[in-house]
Structure 1
Amino acid sequence: MSERSSVFDMIGPVMIGPSSSHTAGVVRIGRVARKILKSTPKKAIITFYNSFARTYEGHGSNRAILGGLLDFHTDDERIKDALILAEQAGLEYHFKSVGNASTLHPNTVKIEMTADDGTEATVVGESRGGGVIRMRSVNGFDTNFTASSHTLIVYANDQMGSIAFISDVLSHDDCNIATMTVSRKGKNDLACLVFEMDSGIKQITLAYISELNWVRNVLYIPDIDQ
């Protein structure tokens, strides 16, 4: 006799329900968001778009995103209780849905977060199937990284030579750059540099980059599945 299974059953290391896009991918987006905020949010407004807007409750995406914000891995059995566990952790959350956003991927979620110390961050992520994600934007800048590699995000003044300089620093740390994305508010304004790398960065290197006088902020996200 076969056993009954729920939408939160696991296969291997990847959590799946009716669709891994609605569970495993969403958990990963939540975990990336938490790392960008650098803490568990105190408040979170979570907006599901398009396909997600119609199915997020039935497919468990609401539990999955909160599980990610609580830093649960995709195969963590606590995800099924994430609504209650989030409240117990002091996370005030609110879900919204937008069913017709034609410019966005069908499985898009936006998370607007506030930490205990008042720090705010907003991320937009896409769950693209099979647990694969793409972080479309961070704090209003286009980013387009997958979080499957070690990712460095540098907010810096838009000045000549900045990309080459950071690339050189990373090369001295034996970091091979796989992809790079650059977005900026405007010429000579704030820029966002995103480096996806095959290996991690030493803490001393992160500290050095952070102390550069033209760098505003540095975020580092290791491989999200580690």
Structure 2
Amino acid sequence: MKKCGVFDVIGPIMIGPSSSHTAGATKIALLARRIAGLGYQHVDFYLHGSFQATYQGHGTDKALIGGILGFEPSDVRIKNSFDYAKKVGISYRFLPIDLEDAHPNSVKIVFHYPDGTSFYVIGSSIGGGAIEITNINGTDVTFTGEQPTLLLKYKEQKGMIAYISNALYAKGYNIDLMRTIKEEDEVLLIVELNESLDPDLYQTIKNGKSFLFNKYIDTKEGI
């Protein structure tokens, strides 16, 4: 039986009106921002399902802009997020998309950088302010950002999982969940921990091997 927490009963602390359409949208965009990295000048929001149908009336648009600016769901600045985006020189568009079997409250967020590159994240607001990231730049994933998480993408090779596991074990960390997603000769390793990762250990891990992509997401930093 699933344990019921306080947020399952009373919902998240947030700027309204909807936990799914505002709090959830803010959290998706905030987490996407941290996955993609800073330095973007333009962001396209491709809205799916009910996000697309009601995004203006429910404040989803302001919530998404607030998230990519680094605002948390309870931040009162979300109400004026369009103005804040203009002040920092970030442009944006809201566009419709059909993500097929995705949750109705889903969005594809595409970050555009000055050098012409882009990076996208797809996420869903699944109710009560809870979210799920389902795709990172073309790789299907499943994680919530509720726990400290390591995302490590690399060319398939022997010993990589042992390398990560041993590095964490040597410093006394417990791995709550570890899973791999393989596409051809590339592997995305998702590692969820039960406590924050020491920055020096993260540097040691990512510098010890060759990664195509690496990111550490700490729940204490906004999600």
Same fold (TM over 0.5): yes
The 3-state SS of whatever aligns with 2:103 is coil
| Deviation, structure 1 residue 220 | 0.7
Residue 17 (structure 1) aligns with: 16
Q: 1:140 aligns with which of 138, 141, 157?
A: 138
Partner SS state of residue 182, structure 1: strand
2:69 maps to what in 1?
70
Q: Is the 8 A contact 1:182 1:192 kept in 2?
A: yes
Distance 2:15 2:72 in 1: 12
Indicate the SS of the match to 1:123. Answer: strand
With 36-45 and 46-55 compared, the bigger mean Cα shift is at 36-45
Partner of 2:205: 209
Gaps of 5+ in 1: 1-10
Do residues 219 (structure 1) and 215 (structure 2) align?
yes
- The alignment's C-alpha RMSD in Å is 2.0
Change (3 A) 1:185 1:89: same
Unaligned residue ranges in structure 2 (runs of 5+)? 1-9
- 1:134 counterpart letter in structure 2: E
Per-residue deviation at 1:181?
Answer: 2.8
TM-score of the pair, normalised by structure 2 = 0.88
Q: Which has the higher helix share?
A: 2
CA distance in 2, matches of 1:102, 1:16: 29
Aligned residues: 213
Alpha-carbon separation, structure 2, partners of 1:117 and 1:201: 31
The one-letter code sitting in structure 2 at the alignment partner of 1:199 is E
Percent of paired sites with the same residue = 36
CA-CA distance at 1:19 after TM superposition: 2.2
Tell me whether 1:172 sits opposite 2:170 in the alignment: yes
- Closer/same/farther in 2, CA of residues 56 and 201 from structure 1, 3 Å limit: same
Between 33-42 and 85-94, the greater mean CA deviation after superposition:
33-42
Q: For residue 89 of structure 2, give the secondary structure of its aligned residue in structure 1.
A: coil
CA contact 1:183–1:193 (8 Å) conserved in 2: yes
**How far is 1:141 from its partner?**
1.3
